[in-house]
Structure 1
């Protein structure tokens, strides 16, 4: 039986302080309690003065402080929920924002039931997600290092005539280059070393990710998603780590909305206006799905690589993956023939791909 809360506590949590406000059942205005330090002992002492843990519902916004506070409070017997900050109602004319006001607003909205909670991942799931995001950061750092090296070469009129950069042939070309002044040679060598170190970092993180998911409870879901075209080990792991258990989404439209892949809308009366996608929710998973959508510009077929990924999967999983190829490849071709911009086509394909991801996530539940 669900516990009934009589005291609603709003926390505005920061790195060094936490503002506390409380709202009781009824129409009484919420009351600001005060500000305490970031230590759990200080917060627990302040919460203990507000009532028994069974009567309190504590809420705070998802943000840079992560989920540690929620886990620690739950471990001590408090009921704590993390809410989505982007879905908190805000008055258009509101121009003053303080920790006190934020805490009071959270307490009042928790009492009225107007807050949307987010799923708190367990520590293992969050660890895999951190590793995925560390790899993304490493890839971006490598891109920046490569851009800096190529910018120096362009400034001095050194242009590579080969087809593709950063291949073995390109590396041999870079090794032959030299400059007139020793200072430029030093700068060039440092740029090359930065690229090499960035490459090594990406390789280390990729290998670590493959090792860490071997005993992960979501491994079966990752392998099921790898049956889809465009989702390799890294991409599938990123999607699963960011989304968690797909069963928490009752309908694929819920997942599409969570990913921010649905069009925005501003309609009134008989006029309906739809705009660009909302881009709300999880941007990491959205980016992976949009990148994967580019693979559906080719005709549907099961390549050798895809055949290996699907080898040990159930027939139902393989059927969903093939159905996804047939539909999405045809959909990509039709939208392209209509003259739609390629980027818009990929976003539309990514939205439908999310539906197949949802289906596979429910077909292969995670291990207990």
Structure 2
């Protein structure tokens, strides 16, 4: 150890400027890490980020000894491992689009809360509607203006304000959808990703903005594992025990892929392409839940192949067996 000191934020870059060119600077991938990584790389330093789940095992004191000094020591230890996987820094364009997706998700949650709040207020006065936003939207104005019901005058004003807030949230979500549509129109990668069955414009935009360079993964299987779509292993003594999916990586991306795969599974019987027929056979054998996760994992692998190969998606493509593989049983 050469030095061990605490630096304030405004003095960090000035201190890093004194480091020799190419010096390795390791940090945990957290809020603001991509900004610092870009700043350090612009100054000729080899800045790298490590996912928090890969840093924690190197903390000698374990969970009970978590503090800034121990975390810094764990980051240094993790960065020195030859097998460590580092996080690529995101560009400004990537982070800009991810801001749109995060805002949209927050607005959706706020919209759900607003709708539930309106339902609760109506239920206080004995008015209960079917649990469908479209029905509530269609009848809310009539209920507020109907003087024959038992809603208090102050409650009517509250419901009007809540309705205006709901409409404002819908307008904000529509703005986010327009930004996603513009991203698809301007980005050729998003256009190619959106061609997959079960991958729409929203999922394609999120995948491209999150991953950036798909060549950071060796193959499609590694990309699927990075998304947490592969089963957990608890194997020992040559016996392989597989459980549920790991659910590692981005919850947002994994949710989008699974939701899109769910829609594709339920309409797949109308299509005659090999993937749709495969997922229908899998659905008959193991149920639709397993078929949905399997299709999400397959879509992740196809996304990697399409992006790294710089080609268009072909629904009727049949993969060639690898050289030296055993012939299929007849």
TM-score in same-fold range (> 0.5): yes
Q: 2:101 aligns with which of 132, 135, 156?
A: 132
CA contact (8 A) 2:190 2:204 kept: yes
**1:148-196 Cα shifts (integer Å, max 9, x gaps):** 22233344332335xx8333x6533111114431122122222212211
CA contact (8 A) 1:32 1:103 kept: no
Separation (CA, whole Å) in 2 of partners of 1:114 and 1:31: 25
How far did 1:72 drift?
Answer: 0.8
Superposition RMSD on alpha carbons, in Å? 2.6
Unaligned ranges ≥5, structure 2 = 145-149, 313-330
Structure showing the higher strand proportion among its residues = 1
Q: Which moved more, 1:249-258 or 1:93-102?
A: 93-102
CA contact (8 A) 1:220 1:364 kept: no
Partner residue of 1:74?
Answer: 41
Separation (CA, whole Å) in 1 of partners of 2:21 and 2:53: 28
Partner-residue secondary structure (3-state), 1:299 = helix
Partner residue of 1:157?
Answer: 126
Unaligned ranges ≥5, structure 1 = 1-29, 303-321
Partner residue of 2:25?
Answer: 58
Alignment size in residue pairs: 304
Separation (CA, whole Å) in 2 of partners of 1:352 and 1:212: 24
Partner residue of 2:78?
Answer: 109
Separation (CA, whole Å) in 1 of partners of 2:68 and 2:306: 42
How far did 1:288 drift?
Answer: 0.9
Partner-residue secondary structure (3-state), 2:235 = coil
Q: Does 1:85 align with 2:52?
A: yes
Partner residue of 1:358?
Answer: 304
Q: 1:332 to 1:36 in 2, by over 3 A?
A: same
Q: Does 1:100 align with 2:69?
A: yes
Q: 1:276 to 1:98 in 2, by over 3 A?
A: same
Partner residue of 2:198?
Answer: 230
Structure showing the higher helix proportion among its residues = 2
**1:307-365 Cα shifts (integer Å, max 9, x gaps):** xxxxxxxxxxxxxxx85xx32x334333332353x434322221112112222222437
Separation (CA, whole Å) in 2 of partners of 1:58 and 1:72: 12
CA contact (8 A) 2:184 2:201 kept: no
Q: Does 1:284 align with 2:252?
A: yes
Q: 1:195 to 1:132 in 2, by over 3 A?
A: same
Partner residue of 1:254?
Answer: 222
Partner residue of 1:239?
Answer: 207
Q: 1:111 to 1:246 in 2, by over 3 A?
A: closer
Partner-residue secondary structure (3-state), 1:264 = strand
Q: Does 1:335 align with 2:303?
A: no
Separation (CA, whole Å) in 1 of partners of 2:74 and 2:94: 31
Separation (CA, whole Å) in 1 of partners of 2:204 and 2:137: 30
Q: Does 1:200 align with 2:136?
A: no
**1:44-83 Cα shifts (integer Å, max 9, x gaps):** 343455x4223x2110010012311011111112221111
Partner-residue secondary structure (3-state), 2:159 = helix
CA contact (8 A) 1:263 1:275 kept: yes
TM-score by length of 2: 0.82
Partner-residue secondary structure (3-state), 1:275 = strand
How far did 1:227 drift?
Answer: 1.5
CA contact (8 A) 1:83 1:116 kept: yes
Partner residue of 2:141?
Answer: 175
Q: 1:33 to 1:133 in 2, by over 3 A?
A: same
**1:251-288 Cα shifts (integer Å, max 9, x gaps):** 11011011010011111114332221111112221111
